[in-house]
Amino acid sequence: MQIASDEYFMQMAIELAKKGLYSTKPNPMVGCVLVKNGTVIGEGWHHKAGLPHAEPLAIADAKQRGNEVEGATAYVTLEPCSHYGRTPPCANRLVDSKIQRCVIGMHDPNPLVAGKGVKILQAAGIEVTVGVLKAQAEKLNPSFLFAMRHKKPYVRLKMASSVDGRTAMPNGESQWITGSEARKEVHKLRLQSQAILTGIGTVMADDPSLTVRLSEQDLQSAHLGLPEDTSHCYPLRIVLDTHLKISPQAKILQMPGKNLLICSGESLKNNPEKVELLSTQKIQVLGLPADQEGIDLKCLMQTLFSDFGIQSIMVEAGAKLTGRLIAQNLVNEYHLYMAPCLLGSKSRAMFELPELQTMNDKVELVPESCEMFGNDIRWILMPKQMNN
């Protein structure tokens, strides 16, 4: 009976946490439910980095309802934080509220927490249970958890293709393979990401903006829970441009939001005037190691996490860059949109991968979901083996 009750209230906390899908980054989504005598007395979910976390919001909600928190059980999807950041420690806040028990979905792998929150609660005499609906709690924050554990971003690769696996006509024409409903989902994925990664080839061929374009109706129907000022929610646009070929007039550089250009250290050194011109447009240019294939992608991922705090990246790029990412085992999720059309064998392929010799060399993917948007099919696939 106790297990069923814990699962029931933890599921409520998980559903609350999901409301922060588009607005909490780089913080994880967290939900909290306070229960007393089998009745929910307060609820809270984290809205935005820098604002109160789920636990103090649930406590405030309980008090606003006229409920006494002392003696209650707190159901929290992620271990309460134990450190001072932009907000005080939630573990201490729960202790001060004199809850009797705390049920936690999963431990927080952030080194600043990592079991310390549980110890604070236990030291205060609070009964703690960890691991209720752990699998569901893990699914809430794959980017945050992966980044904390591996010190590099979680990468989602998006690609739209025809049934025969082609992304553009031989001359590069590609608008539009998929319909409006599928493209709307792509914009939601952009909004979910901290950064969008593309290559200079895509910028020169398509002159994309890579912005988030969703109507107010789209935002409301998706229950995004965004505040009026959504500028903090929009992703950083990253362009890999080894030889610094980009035009200062490129559309991507004119759009609202921030841009980061990644070139080779040599190109950064040899183009001071262009770097200065770009800096006057408030565009950051960073030099990283590169070879004949392009920017060192593993160095890129480590730098984006360590220097920029990037935990989640959405890739919208051409076959060469996407192929390199796949070959180097840097893709965590594939979002493949397939339109009911054929473009022919001379049209452009999805990925440029190293030549495979046998079926044993194939890249195996595991279906996570398959869904239709209009007439298009979206597959979300995971690598069968990911050596991280």
Task: Specify the DSSP element, H or E, that contains 206.
Answer: helix 200-206
Closest CA to 168 of 179, 158, 178: 178
Residues facing 287 on adjacent strands: 263
Closest CA to 335 of 365, 301, 363: 365
Report the alpha-carbon distance of residue 232 to residue 237 in Å, rounded: 13
Report the alpha-carbon distance of residue 80 to residue 113 in Å, rounded: 8
190, 210 contact by CB (below 8 A) = yes
Taking the alpha carbons at both ends of the chain, their separation in whole angstroms is 39
Report the alpha-carbon distance of residue 165 to residue 347 in Å, rounded: 9
Three-state secondary structure string covering 57-104: HHHHHHHHCCCCCCCCEEEECCCCCCCCCCCCCHHHHHHHCCCCEEEE
The token pair that represents 79 in the structure block? 């271990």
- What count of residues does the chain have? 388
Answer yes or no: 138 catalytic.
Answer: no
Residue of 43, 55, 185, 316 marked active site = 55
- Residue 388 exposed, middle or buried by CB count within 10 Å (0-12, 13-18, 19+): exposed
The token pair that represents 222 in the structure block? 């998706």
37: left (phi over 0), alpha (psi -120 to 50) or beta: left
The token pair that represents 385 in the structure block? 């083996």
The token pair that represents 117 in the structure block? 């929150």
Number of H helices, E strands in the chain: 14, 18
Contacts of 293 (CB under 8 A, 6+ apart): 324
Residues designated catalytic: 55
